[in-house]
Structure 1
Amino acid sequence: TGTILNKALGSKSSSLSNDEIIRGLKEALTIGTDSSAKRLNKADGFFANAAIKILMPEEAKKAEKTLRQFGMGSLVDKAILSMNRAAEDAAGGISTIFWDAIKGMTLTDGLSILRGGDFAATEYLKKTTTAQLTEKMRPIIEASLSKVNATQYWKDVFTAYNKLSKTPVNTDLSAYVTERSLTGVFYSVGQEEQKIRKDPAAQVTGLLKKVFGGN
């Protein structure tokens, strides 16, 4: 299977126009981001995926270990599950921000993606959408954390731990879950980009087949 780079830049006889290249990239990114949003915005979208599952933050690892040693592991388990449920709930709102970034892609952006590495399109989205996604997702995450009782579970964990420790933990829960959610989103988009670049079965439209070399 050829790659978009081979197709677009590697042959003088390429029949692809600049317009087709940009439309192909936009189509690939739209499909990839929509697929990611749908996959993440359901039960276990984060929780069952070891690559992006949200665990306790580094500064809370000692708290987790201590509570498990004292037979309070269920408090930690509830907190971890609820953080992932909040991320899954918030993932439904990411598509529109991605669409705006994709619509705004220029020929210069497109050619830069073509000349970049295997995750160049994902890196483009990361660069152009992280600030907006953080701003949009933070309040959604906060509402979701409250909805799935994560805020209470988190409080339970650290109320219990801070009674046992001289060094209390005061992590900003919504900031942490927002940051880990975005890491998971971009990881997922990157996986979709790889599929479209390399797997003919993922090139689901005529334009994608033409641009990415499926047929």
Structure 2
Amino acid sequence: MSMFSLFSRRPLLSLTGLWVLLAVTAGPASAGWRDMLDKVIGGGDTPAATTGSAATTQAPAAAAPSSQEQETGLRAAISGFADAAVKRLGQDGGFANDPLVRIPVPEQLQSLKSGMARIGQESLFNDFEASMNRAAENGVKEAAPVFVDAVTSMSITDAAKIIGGADNAATEYFRSKTSDSLRQRLRPQIEKVTSEAGVTNYYKAIVDKAGFLASYLNKDTLDLDGYVTEESLDGLFAAMAEEEKRLRANPLGATSDIVRKVFDWFK
């Protein structure tokens, strides 16, 4: 049967049918016709049909977090850093057993410590140092609500810059915004626990034992409560920075959905 007889019997043969017929009768030589017909019927390039492979549909890209989501996520992250730091440092040995945050003897007493160590009196300083670290551990535990309030009440500007910043950018921002108020609110707690831990008593024991060496001390410049307060804050911020670095390394490991979203987006 010829192609002409087919056309005469089926004058309404569709373009699609014609494409199939040409493919069968013309073989490779009809490739140009197939291309033209594809354009007419709107097929265009159909790599999935010509190769036999299944078409792959890509999922739409995730939307960037909004400004509100960025601020909420950043605040939640900082709250998490502070909570983890307080729990870590507020336990027995939290300060004393961690070289990163352990509180040393004040600089004003270092020369006296060296002199008394030569005469076998270093244990007095060991007890004194232990009492300061114990006071810091108890102080941060009692001051936990202070940190929670500071996180919730602080203002945040340019959250995207902070989230996309250095490994400790959020901690440093929190420190810059809250350190003065935290110092004022933390000190009464520290004064209470330094008294309970016997910090002042150990210091007095050192001065009494030092004898004439104590005359070289400027006792008026040594504020033990202020010193322990500053060291406690420094330790807390250092611990928070470690928590932040850990989150930035693996944002998908965060327990909060909003924290995961914003930190993973800016990673």
| Equivalent runs, 1:93-108 vs 2, <5 Å | 93-106=142-155, 108=157
Q: Do residues 181 (structure 1) and 232 (structure 2) align?
A: yes
Question: Normalising by the residue count of structure 1, what TM-score does the alignment of the two structures yield?
Answer: 0.86
| Counterparts of 1:132 and 1:107, CA distance in 2 | 16
| Counterparts of 2:126 and 2:257, CA distance in 1 | 46
Q: Is the 1:24–1:211 contact (alpha carbons within 8 Å) kept by the matching residues of 2?
A: yes
Unaligned runs of 5+ in 1: 1-11
| Counterparts of 1:136 and 1:188, CA distance in 2 | 19
Q: How far does residue 144 in structure 1 lie from its aligned partner after superposition? A: 0.7
Other-structure match for 1:149: 198
Q: Deviations over 1:97-127 (max 9, x none)?
A: 3333332355624234235322111111111
Q: How far does residue 197 in structure 1 lie from its aligned partner after superposition? A: 1.3
The higher relative CO (CA closer than 8 Å, separation ≥ 6) is in: 1
| Counterparts of 1:135 and 1:24, CA distance in 2 | 27
Q: Is the 2:150–2:178 contact (alpha carbons within 8 Å) kept by the matching residues of 1?
A: yes
Which residue identity lines up with residue 257 of structure 2 in the other structure? G
Which residue identity lines up with residue 66 of structure 1 in the other structure? G
| Equivalent runs, 1:80-91 vs 2, <5 Å | 80-91=129-140
CA distance change for structure 1 residues 34 and 155 in 2, over 3 Å: closer, same or farther?
same
Q: Is the 1:196–1:202 contact (alpha carbons within 8 Å) kept by the matching residues of 2?
A: yes
Q: CA RMSD for the aligned pairs?
A: 2.3
Match of 1:116 among 140, 165, 179: 165
Aligned residues: 204
CA distance change for structure 1 residues 24 and 118 in 2, over 3 Å: closer, same or farther?
same
Larger Rg: 2
CA distance change for structure 1 residues 104 and 187 in 2, over 3 Å: closer, same or farther?
same
Q: Secondary structure at the match of 1:213?
A: helix
Match of 2:174 among 110, 122, 125: 125
Which residue identity lines up with residue 149 of structure 2 in the other structure? D
Unaligned runs of 5+ in 2: 1-60
Q: How far does residue 209 in structure 1 lie from its aligned partner after superposition? A: 2.1
Identity %: 33
Which residue identity lines up with residue 225 of structure 2 in the other structure? S
Q: Is the 1:97–1:132 contact (alpha carbons within 8 Å) kept by the matching residues of 2?
A: no
Q: Deviations over 1:123-180 (max 9, x none)?
A: 1111121111111221211111110111101111122224335412422111111111
| Counterparts of 1:110 and 1:146, CA distance in 2 | 41
Question: Normalising by the residue count of structure 2, what TM-score does the alignment of the two structures yield?
Answer: 0.70
| Counterparts of 1:200 and 1:91, CA distance in 2 | 27
Which residue identity lines up with residue 247 of structure 2 in the other structure? I
Runs of 4+ in 1 over 6 A off after TM superposition: none
Q: Is the 2:96–2:102 contact (alpha carbons within 8 Å) kept by the matching residues of 1?
A: yes
